[in-house]
Amino acid sequence: MDRPVEHEDLDLLAHVLLPVADKEDALSSATALEPYQPDHVTALHVVEKGQGVPDKTPVAQSEAVAEESFEAVRMVFPDADEHTAYSRDIVGAIFDAAAEVDASAIVYRSRGGNRIVQFLSGDRSLKLITTAERPVIALPRV
Amino acid sequence: MSEEELAKDLGLVSAMTIGIGTMIGAGIFVLPGIAAQRAGPVVVLSFALGGFIAVFNALSVSELGTAMPKAGGAYYFINRSLGPVFGSISGLGDWLGLAFASAFYTIGFGQYLGELIELPSVLFLNSIQVGAVLAGVAFVGVNYIGAKETGGIQTIIVAILLGILTLFAVVGWFSFDWGTVTGSGGLTPLGTAEILPATGLVFVSYLGYAKIATVAEEMRNPGRNLPIAIVGSVVIVSVIYTILVTLMIGIVPWPELDLEAPVAQAAEVAFPAAVAGLAMTVMTVAALLATASSANASILASARINFAMGRDRIVSDWLNQIHPRFATPYRSIIVTGGMIVLFIALLGRDVGLLAEAASVLHLIVFALLNLAVIVFRETDYPGYDPDFEVPLYPIVPILGATLSLGLIAFMEFWPQVIAVGFVIGAVAWYLLYARRYTPIQGALGEYIRERPDEMPDVAVSAAEAASPEATAAYRVMVPVANPETADELIAIGCTMAEQNDGVVHAVHIVEVPDQTSLDYVADKLDEIDPDASERLASAVETAAAYDVEIETHTVVSHRSFQEIFASAERLKADTVVMGWSPRRPWTTGRTGGPLEELTLELPCDFLVFKDRGLDPSKILLPTAGGPDSDLSAEAAKAFRDLHGSTVSVLHVIDEETERAEAMGFIGQWAAEHGLGDANLLVETGGDIEGEIRAAAADHSLVLIGATERGLLIRLLGDSLVYDVVDQIDQSVLLAERPAKRSIRERLFRRG
């Protein structure tokens, strides 16, 4: 994984990467981000892939979810770019996408849930903030 | 690598593994005992024959899969070719068949689990059923949470299985005794007539190959890998079955072959006494792995079939909601899981019947699949260009269909009852539910309906009767509340309908106070609104001048304006034609929050008529050249085609210098909308409303498209969008098309 490129003014909000899971998540994340007025937003949806085994969810269905999520982000940020990644490693895919679009920061909103649910779905918040090589901004859960 | 390629992560080995992994569990570990008791030693022929039939189907599936690598597999191909009636049969059959098969696999799992541990009976479930239910719940849970198996685990499981079975075959070879095979009454002690019914029973062992096609869209290089994986896995599995079953009846006399755990039993006999116990345990573990992977793969495949059916509205899209956290189609998985548990509970004591139910439903689907190949080829379906073509067409698909259906004829009584009952049920499902929602018409129906003269009348009327309503007609709904404008609205509605070969629904909405119960009113319509029937009769009379069908409806409601939207949704209207005047009852304070929501999300196109007499002879069509005036352009074209109207397109620019460019632009816009013969008026000054006012004087009807979302709401809320509407003496027709449909609607509904 490459090092973040030096931004001239090191503005955290110059170009944020916003990973979104579905329509509702996208809308609430984008709404939470909106007051901070980022300069540019790229919405990211990671399609979970088995890579070698058939997926539990049909890919076409996952792609429809991605499209809905992007649409929801654009209701708040009409100029937002979109990026779809395919990987079994969600957090790794977020980092790769951040490098690819050269994001100034990754912005995410924790999805909450109790310990068991977090364990079952993999506690991504922890991995995201402890292994990132560029700034990660956690939005408040309102 | 493009995103397209990233989504494809299944190679040849993975694909082959899906096929072999789904198939190998069932046939060899569960069925030999039961099948041998039905047919005797010739049961080997039954297994071979099942594989033979499967190869024909596999070739057809391969062609279809390479032509359309889409989620849903068999269902998708059949729906696109034979149409939604057969689509419903195949989709529901595949789904139900997989649920039966999964119940069968989990019962097999429970039988072998009983060899290892002692399970209690619970209530009316015996210990095997308890084990099966536990396994079923576990597999459903894994799919619900979406736990990702490590990349190659399925490949490893299949490799281990093949290894164990090979070892068994080698050791078994030394214990094989021809005398054991024929020792209990020769080769056909029960008669040759039992071969085919037993084939129907063991056919459940060959379902896996079609599941490869359900993941075709995720495969790399499907043109090459798909046919190899499908045909290859069938051939490999057929050979393994034939060899192993032969060995088993040569090791254990067929009448003594264990009904629950035949492989463990044979292993115990075949291996030397010192390791017999170990061999039996290894075989048991292998059986557990095999039946588990079969059940798991089937649950997974069923979610894909549901997704494909939901996309086409054969079943409710409710099923395909994605879990917000696990990102799995959890409802579909839960419903499938519920059916599996139900089948385990009801039929778990007759594992043979479970197998036959799964077989018979899949045989129906496979027969239709073969016909799908023929239909796609013969109708020259657009874009049908398979990388792999079945050899010896049309012999292979015809034989495949005939063998599949033929085998059903030789099966036992109850599976046949299930088959017939299921087909009746699926057709009823289509007629009562899916027909109203699905927009898909198959290649066959389209082909026949487009050639009414060449085709036999019976075929044409059958195709008409079976075609989905959603594609049947363009619907115009006209609320006829106001007697002064009703006839004009009907005339406009008929114009739009005739232009689009559609139907007019005249809806008379009777508004009653909140205090009055709707049921009460329903009986007394004549008293409350004596001229309702008269008004609808007048509408029918007006429509007689047009070549359209008209249907009339009377609706009683507490909220007449909301009812327009509700009726439009219910009738699945494409266009609503309604009148408007500032004195409409719904502008008298009845509006508010819900109304805003309604008008923000228009269910369909709306044409709102400001009536100053309907004279469509000279139409003025102001446009900025954007998509906002698409609908008003369509209406103008309909009036021109049916009433001989002359159409003038008005475009307002700021500066004279832009004129030449504007003429070219607007001329092209008119031509694109089929109005190439329109007069082009380009006016300068930028005062759009002023220019409309001026130009209107020379015309008889002004058609205005909504320039932004929410035209209707402001119109109905008394605040005018355009003052011009009130300032001219001509009638105005305002046109609004829903600006933005949700993605799902754009993709799946009216496209």
Contact A68 B71 (CB under 8 A): no
Contact B148 A53 (CB under 8 A): yes
Phi first, then psi: give them for residue B651, nearest 5 degrees.
-130, 130
For residues B387 and B67, what is the distance between their CA atoms, to the nearest angstrom?
6
* 3-class SS of residue B620: strand
Rg of the Cα trace of chain A? 15
Tokens of B364: 């129906």
Decide if pLDDT at B377 tops 80: yes
CB-closest option in B143, B218, B322 to A65: B322
Residues from chain B that touch A54, judged by Cβ atoms under 8 A, are 10, 14, 18, 215, 218, 297, 300
B667 Cβ neighbours under 8 A, 6+ residues apart: B680
pLDDT value of residue B631:
85
pLDDT value of residue A58:
79
* 3-class SS of residue B458: helix
Phi first, then psi: give them for residue B681, nearest 5 degrees.
-110, 115
On whether the CB atoms of residues B373 and B391 are closer than 8 A, the answer is no
Strand-pair category, B646-653 with A81-87? unpaired
Lowest mean pLDDT among B46-50, B150-154, B405-409, B602-606: B150-154
For residues A41 and A39, what is the distance between their CA atoms, to the nearest angstrom?
7
Tokens of B262: 């035949």
Largest Cα span, chain B: 108
Give the percent of chain B with pLDDT over 70: 88
pLDDT value of residue B298:
87
Strand-pair category, B575-579 with B475-479? parallel
Q: Which residue of A has its CA nearest to B332?
A: A57
Length of chain B, please?
751
Strand partners, B572: none
Contact B744 A64 (CB under 8 A): yes
Burial of residue B466 (number of CB atoms within 10 Å: 0-12, 13-18, 19+): buried
Q: Mean pLDDT of all residues in chain B?
A: 83
On whether the CB atoms of residues B653 and B659 are closer than 8 A, the answer is yes
* B1, B10, B312: best to mutate for the A interface, most A CBs within 10 A: B10
The candidate with the shortest Cα–Cα distance to B294, out of B120, B130, B112, B170, is: B112
Tokens of B748: 């799946």
Confidence bin at B56 (pLDDT 50/70/90): very high
pLDDT (tens digit, 9 = 90+) per residue, B254-265? Answer: 888 888 888 888
Distance from CA of B174 to the nearest CA of A (A): 37
Q: Where are the alpha helices (DSSP H) in B430-513?
A: 435-437, 443-449, 457-466, 469-472, 486-499
Burial of residue A125 (number of CB atoms within 10 Å: 0-12, 13-18, 19+): middle
On whether the CB atoms of residues B19 and B233 are closer than 8 A, the answer is yes
Contact B151 A52 (CB under 8 A): yes
pLDDT (tens digit, 9 = 90+) per residue, B624-675? Answer: 777 678 888 888 988 998 888 899 998 888 888 888 888 888 888 888 888 8
Q: How many alpha carbons lie under 13 Å from residue B165 in its C-beta half-sphere? A: 26
Tokens of B256: 């003594």
pLDDT (tens digit, 9 = 90+) per residue, B393-449? Answer: 899 999 999 999 999 999 999 999 999 999 999 999 998 888 888 877 788 887 877
Decide if pLDDT at A9 tops 70: no
Confidence bin at B716 (pLDDT 50/70/90): low
Rounded mean pLDDT, B362-387? 91
Q: How many alpha carbons lie under 13 Å from residue B67 in its C-beta half-sphere? A: 25
Rounded mean pLDDT, B107-112? 92
Rounded mean pLDDT, B717-746? 65
Higher pLDDT, B131 or B590: B131
Residue with tokens 């990702």: B148
For residues B142 and A56, what is the distance between their CA atoms, to the nearest angstrom?
9
Confidence bin at B106 (pLDDT 50/70/90): very high
Residues from chain B that touch A47, judged by Cβ atoms under 8 A, are 7
Q: How many alpha carbons lie under 13 Å from residue B159 in its C-beta half-sphere? A: 7
On whether the CB atoms of residues A139 and A107 are closer than 8 A, the answer is yes
Tokens of B115: 């060899």
Helix pair angle (A124-131, A90-101), 10° resolution: 40
Strand partners, B684: B653
Decide if pLDDT at B582 tops 80: no
pLDDT value of residue B586:
44
Q: For residue B688, is it left (φ>0), alpha (ψ between -120 and 50) or beta?
A: alpha
For residues B429 and B433, what is the distance between their CA atoms, to the nearest angstrom?
6
* Helix, strand, coil tally for chain B in percent (to 5): 65, 10, 25
Confidence bin at B369 (pLDDT 50/70/90): very high
Which CATH superfamily, name and number, covers B9-413? Amino acid/polyamine transporter I (1.20.1740.10)
pLDDT value of residue B590:
41
* Helix, strand, coil tally for chain A in percent (to 5): 40, 20, 40
Decide if pLDDT at B573 tops 70: yes
CB-closest option in B14, B146, B152 to A56: B146
pLDDT value of residue B524:
67
Residues from chain A that touch B152, judged by Cβ atoms under 8 A, are 52
Rg of the Cα trace of chain B? 33
pLDDT value of residue B519:
67
Interface of B with A (CB under 8 A): 3, 6-7, 9-11, 14, 18, 70-72, 143, 145-146, 148-149, 151-155, 215, 217-218, 297, 300, 303-304, 307-308, 311, 320, 322, 324-329, 333, 742-744, 747
Q: What CATH number matches the domain at A16-138, 3.40.190.10, 3.40.50.620, 3.30.70.660, 3.30.1330.10?
A: 3.40.50.620
Contact A54 B218 (CB under 8 A): yes
Decide if pLDDT at B91 tops 90: yes
Decide if pLDDT at B13 tops 50: yes
Strand-pair category, A16-19 with A105-108? parallel
Residues from chain A that touch B315, judged by Cβ atoms under 8 A, are none
pLDDT value of residue B711:
57
Decide if pLDDT at B702 tops 80: yes
Decide if pLDDT at B340 tops 90: yes
Contact B327 A54 (CB under 8 A): no
Q: Which residue of B has its CA nearest to A123?
A: B325
Q: Which residue of A has its CA nearest to B142?
A: A56
Helix and strand element counts for chain B (H, E): 33, 10
Phi first, then psi: give them for residue B623, nearest 5 degrees.
-150, 150
For residues B273 and B363, what is the distance between their CA atoms, to the nearest angstrom?
43
Residue with tokens 């017999």: B276
Helix pair angle (B12-39, B195-202), 10° resolution: 140
H or E stretch at B562: helix B560-570
Residues from chain A that touch B304, judged by Cβ atoms under 8 A, are 58
Tokens of B349: 């004591």
For residues B375 and B381, what is the distance between their CA atoms, to the nearest angstrom?
8
Higher pLDDT, B88 or B193: B88
Contact B217 A60 (CB under 8 A): yes
* 3-class SS of residue B533: helix
B11 Cβ neighbours under 8 A, 6+ residues apart: A52, B219, B220, B225
Tokens of B180: 């054991």
Q: In what order do the strands lie in the sheet with A105-108?
A: A81-87, A41-48, A16-19, A105-108, A136-138
Q: Which residue of A has its CA nearest to B333?
A: A56
Decide if pLDDT at B337 tops 90: yes
Decide if pLDDT at B102 tops 90: yes
Domain segments of chain B: what residues? Answer: 9-413, 613-735
- The identity of residue A17, as a single letter, is L
On whether the CB atoms of residues A134 and A106 are closer than 8 A, the answer is yes
Lowest mean pLDDT among B101-105, B552-556, B595-599: B595-599
Residues from chain A that touch B311, judged by Cβ atoms under 8 A, are 60
**What sign for the dihedral angle of Cα B223, B224, B230, B235?**
positive
Strand partners, B509: B555
Rounded mean pLDDT, B9-29? 83
pLDDT (tens digit, 9 = 90+) per residue, B583-631? Answer: 544 443 444 444 455 555 677 888 888 888 888 889 999 887 776 788 8
Phi first, then psi: give them for residue B646, nearest 5 degrees.
-95, 140
For residues B505 and B498, what is the distance between their CA atoms, to the nearest angstrom?
13
The candidate with the shortest Cα–Cα distance to A122, out of B386, B518, B147, B538, is: B147
Q: What CATH number matches the domain at B613-735, 3.40.50.620, 3.40.50.2300, 3.40.50.1370, 3.40.980.10?
A: 3.40.50.620
Contact B151 A113 (CB under 8 A): no
The candidate with the shortest Cα–Cα distance to B47, out of B322, B182, B238, B258, is: B238
pLDDT value of residue B458:
77
Higher pLDDT, B428 or A129: B428
Largest Cα span, chain A: 45
- The identity of residue B722, as a single letter, is Y
Distance from CA of A43 to the nearest CA of B (A): 15
Q: Mean pLDDT of all residues in chain A?
A: 82
- The identity of residue B299, as a single letter, is I
Burial of residue A23 (number of CB atoms within 10 Å: 0-12, 13-18, 19+): buried
Top-confidence range, B55-59, B125-129, B441-445: B55-59
Decide if pLDDT at B299 tops 90: no
**What sign for the dihedral angle of Cα B414, B416, B422, B428?**
negative
Residues from chain B that touch A111, judged by Cβ atoms under 8 A, are 324-325
For residues B61 and B299, what is the distance between their CA atoms, to the nearest angstrom?
20
CB-closest option in A60, A67, A68 to B71: A60
Q: Is A121 on the interface with B (CB under 8 A)?
A: yes
For residues B233 and B23, what is the distance between their CA atoms, to the nearest angstrom?
9
- What DSSP character marks residue A83? E
* 3-class SS of residue B684: strand
CB pairs under 8 A between A and B: 110
Confidence bin at B548 (pLDDT 50/70/90): confident
pLDDT (tens digit, 9 = 90+) per residue, A41-98? Answer: 999 999 887 766 667 777 888 888 898 899 888 888 888 899 998 887 888 899 999 9
pLDDT (tens digit, 9 = 90+) per residue, B267-279? Answer: 888 888 888 888 8
Strand partners, A47: A86
For residues B510 and B609, what is the distance between their CA atoms, to the nearest angstrom?
20
For residues B731 and B702, what is the distance between their CA atoms, to the nearest angstrom?
6
CB-closest option in A24, A49, A50 to B149: A50
Distance from CA of A9 to the nearest CA of B (A): 32
pLDDT value of residue B87:
92
Phi first, then psi: give them for residue B552, nearest 5 degrees.
-115, 145
For residues A39 and A11, what is the distance between their CA atoms, to the nearest angstrom?
9
For residues B24 and B236, what is the distance between their CA atoms, to the nearest angstrom?
10
